Amino acid sequence: MAGLGAEKIQLDLIIDYRTNVALSPAFQDYLRRHRPPLLAIWEQHDPAFVPSGAYAFSRDLPDAEVHPIDVGHFALETRHGDIAARVRYLFRRKLDR
């Protein structure tokens, strides 16, 4: 990824986080009106994205599926098999309706 300007990509993402707060009302309205399937697999020990952030989705989308897992910030690197299984399970259930 070094050839792709990984440092610039990460910096752009970090700087862009500040716009999320301003977009929250529109995002919450979208969830309430359209009720999309939502799967939040959240790291229990992530110092940056605390578990309460995952449960906040449930306020606007009562059917949200929130699954805390026992990892830190790099869940996909350490628990990719568990996460992929949960995603497949969600899609199977939603497509079988």
- Rounded Cα distance, 2 and 67, in Å: 32
Select which of 34, 45, 67, 73 is catalytic. 73
Q: Would residue 73 show up in a list of annotated catalytic residues for this protein?
A: yes
Residues 6+ apart with CB under 8 A from 86: 39, 41, 67
* CB half-sphere exposure, 48, CA atoms < 13 A: 6
What is the set of active-site residues? 73
